């Protein structure tokens, strides 16, 4: 037995050695995993920008610009900087209605309802000051109404004065709660840069959603959207490659201001074209522009509208909606009528109206489309062959902003499951939320038609939001600093 002992000892040593190697390998694999994870986190942190701001604005279109001008005027008055803020804009500029800057078109609101005049007529950001600095104050006085092109230039003029607070090409993707001890102590605003795809995170206690409404596309057209079927919000870019020599046929759906403007533009740009107009009404009704009726755009009326029950708001909205929707200005109505009338004299029919019609089917045939419709009143059916379909079907407010999905459980809702919004545009949140979220553009349902996507209440709304932020100040805490 003694003779074999060294052999057993040798085998035992080998076994111990092998076990040690296996154990060491496990340890090394684990260490490698930890190191790999650490490197991944390091790289992610290096490519992700995180910073705290007192106020974060999602969007730097007109609503965001109005808020920034209100903040700057307040800073100028108090002679001190009030808030560290940033505005995150997904586009590369703050262009206003770039797809609808058609020659000869004007704005649908009074020019004194600009970024600043209703809250501070002495502000440097007023339309009057814009005219003064551009050297056109006296010339404009002989006209009294800005074109859409001029108003767009005014918007860009103001934006350039203050866009050091804007981050362009920065799209807000998600807003998450920062939870500490069961309280929402702040908000994480996740963004993605549309140029370099870099992901960034902004921390704040005050988030202002300056988002506008989205193009409304009737369900029957949703599967057809493309180069030849498009919403009016994409008009200019969608028609740039169309050739007049191809004798195109256009069909314009809708009865609002932009539908008439588009038809007149198409008739002039494409003289060889045929244009169909499909409306559910008997024609194009005029905006209700009476002096008393248009007081619905006053701040006092906004307060009254907000004080009503939702049932009362809905009834009142139906009564006043034609001050802003499904109607046209008198000048474009007359221009369209003149165009159709003069064509009759010449024995041609470039524009054809299909009144009281509702489209119930659309099908594609090679390079064009067949639209089947029915008359709403006599129930007779008919059809239209067309090359292009332009949807002048308006816009809609999102019931719940997509970016706020992670915040759903922290928000209070009414009986219709809509977000509750206070009069100061702050979302009504649960008691454990120590941060403010404001809706600066999606409050027509609660605040009335003056809060639609127009300049009517923009300056006043911006001031109310700023006052609310002042009155609901949340100081920076450790978790956010």
- Looking at beta carbons, which pairs linking 127-131 to residues 24 or more positions away fall under 8 Å? 127/154, 130/154, 130/157, 130/158
Let me know whether 24 and 11 are in one domain.
yes
pLDDT of residue 442: 87
In a domain, 420, yes or no: yes
In a domain, 301, yes or no: no
Let me know whether 233 and 331 are in one domain.
yes
Let me know whether 41 and 166 are in one domain.
no
Of 26-40, 119-133, 442-456, the one with minimum mean pLDDT is: 26-40
pLDDT of residue 15: 52
Between 290 and 427, residue with greater pLDDT: 427
Of 42-46, 162-166, 454-458, the one with minimum mean pLDDT is: 42-46
Let me know whether 222 and 342 are in one domain.
yes
Query: How do residues 422-472 score in pLDDT, each as one tens digit?
Result: 999 999 999 999 999 999 988 999 999 988 767 989 999 999 999 999 998
pLDDT of residue 49: 58
Let me know whether 349 and 243 are in one domain.
yes
Q: With 80 as the cut, is the pLDDT of residue 326 above it?
A: yes
Q: With 50 as the cut, is the pLDDT of residue 39 above it?
A: no
Of 247-261, 390-404, 451-465, the one with minimum mean pLDDT is: 451-465
pLDDT of residue 18: 52
User: CA 469, 471, 472, 473: dihedral to nearest 10 degrees?
Assistant: 80
In a domain, 480, yes or no: no
Q: With 70 as the cut, is the pLDDT of residue 70 above it?
A: yes
pTM of the model: 0.87
Let me know whether 63 and 95 are in one domain.
yes
pLDDT of residue 204: 97
- Surface-to-core class of residue 365, CB atoms within 10 Å of its CB (0-12 exposed, 13-18 middle, 19+ buried): exposed
pLDDT of residue 451: 83
pLDDT of residue 481: 30
Q: With 60 as the cut, is the pLDDT of residue 38 above it?
A: no
Instruction: Decide if 294 contacts 323 (C-beta within 8 A).
Output: yes
> In the structure, what pLDDT confidence band is assigned to residue 477 with cuts at 50, 70 and 90?
very low
pLDDT of residue 279: 98
pLDDT of residue 16: 56
In a domain, 297, yes or no: no
Let me know whether 57 and 197 are in one domain.
yes
Q: With 60 as the cut, is the pLDDT of residue 293 above it?
A: yes
> In the structure, what pLDDT confidence band is assigned to residue 5 with cuts at 50, 70 and 90?
very low
The Cα–Cα gap between 159 and 94 comes to 7
The Cα–Cα gap between 137 and 140 comes to 5
Average pLDDT rounded to a whole number, residues 361-388: 97
pLDDT of residue 215: 96
Let me know whether 383 and 410 are in one domain.
no
> In the structure, what pLDDT confidence band is assigned to residue 73 with cuts at 50, 70 and 90?
very high
Let me know whether 407 and 389 are in one domain.
no
Q: With 70 as the cut, is the pLDDT of residue 17 above it?
A: no
Structural domain span for residue 30: 2-47
Domain CATH code at residue 276: 3.50.50.60
Average pLDDT, the chain: 90
In a domain, 117, yes or no: yes
Instruction: Decide if 468 contacts 438 (C-beta within 8 A).
Output: yes
Let me know whether 58 and 177 are in one domain.
yes
Let me know whether 337 and 448 are in one domain.
no
Q: With 70 as the cut, is the pLDDT of residue 233 above it?
A: yes
pLDDT of residue 474: 58
pLDDT of residue 25: 58
Average pLDDT rounded to a whole number, residues 169-180: 98
pLDDT of residue 466: 96
Domain count, the chain: 3
Let me know whether 199 and 219 are in one domain.
no
Average pLDDT rounded to a whole number, residues 328-333: 95
pLDDT of residue 8: 46
């Amino acid at each position: 037995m003694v003779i074999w002992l060294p052999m057993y000892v040798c085998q035992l040593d080998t076994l111990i050695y092998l076990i040690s190697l296996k154990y060491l390998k496990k340890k090394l694999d684990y260490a490698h995993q930890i190191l790999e994870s650490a490197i991944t986190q390091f790289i992610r942190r290096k490519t992700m920008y995180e910073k705290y701001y007192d106020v974060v604005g999602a969007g730097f279109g007109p609503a965001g610009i109005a808020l920034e001008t209100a903040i700057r005027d307040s800073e100028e008055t108090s002679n001190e900087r009030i808030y560290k803020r940033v505005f995150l804009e997904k586009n590369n500029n703050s262009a206003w209605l770039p797809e609808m800057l058609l020659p000869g078109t004007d704005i649908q609101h009074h020019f004194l309802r600009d970024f600043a005049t209703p809250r501070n007529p002495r502000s440097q950001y007023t339309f009057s000051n814009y005219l003064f600095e551009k050297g056109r104050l006296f010339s404009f006085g002989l006209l009294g109404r800005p074109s859409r092109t001029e108003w767009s230039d005014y918007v860009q003029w103001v934006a350039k004065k203050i866009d050091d607070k804007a981050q362009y090409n920065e799209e807000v993707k998600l807003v998450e709660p920062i939870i500490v001890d069961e309280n929402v102590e702040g908000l994480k605003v996740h963004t993605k840069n549309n140029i370099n795809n870099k992901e960034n995170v902004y921390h704040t206690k005050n988030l202002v959603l300056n988002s506008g409404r989205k193009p409304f596309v009737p369900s029957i057209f949703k599967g057809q959207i493309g180069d030849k079927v498009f919403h009016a919000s994409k008009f200019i870019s969608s028609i740039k490659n169309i050739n007049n020599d191809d004798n195109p046929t256009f069909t314009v759906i809708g009865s609002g201001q932009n539908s008439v403007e588009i038809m007149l533009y198409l008739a002039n740009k494409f003289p060889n074209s045929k244009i169909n107009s499909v409306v559910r009404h008997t024609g194009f009704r005029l905006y209700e522009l009476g002096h008393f009726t248009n007081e619905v755009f006053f701040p006092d009326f906004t307060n009254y509208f907000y004080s009503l029950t939702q049932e009362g708001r809905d009834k009142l909205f139906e009564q006043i909606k034609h001050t802003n929707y499904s109607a046209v200005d008198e000048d474009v109505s007359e221009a369209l009528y003149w165009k159709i009338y003069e064509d009759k004299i010449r024995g041609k029919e470039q524009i054809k109206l299909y009144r009281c019609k509702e489209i119930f089917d659309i099908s594609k045939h090679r390079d064009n489309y067949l639209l089947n419709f029915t008359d709403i009143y006599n129930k007779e059916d008919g059809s239209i062959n067309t090359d292009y379909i332009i949807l002048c079907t308006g816009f809609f407010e999102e019931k719940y902003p997509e970016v706020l999905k992670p915040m759903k459980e922290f928000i209070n809702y009414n009986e219709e499951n809509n977000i509750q919004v206070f009069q100061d545009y702050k979302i009504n949140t649960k008691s454990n939320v120590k941060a403010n979220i404001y809706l600066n553009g999606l409050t027509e349902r609660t605040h009335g038609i003056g809060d639609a996507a127009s300049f009517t209440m923009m300056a006043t709304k911006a001031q109310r939001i700023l006052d609310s932020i002042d009155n609901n100040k949340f100081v920076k805490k450790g978790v956010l600093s």
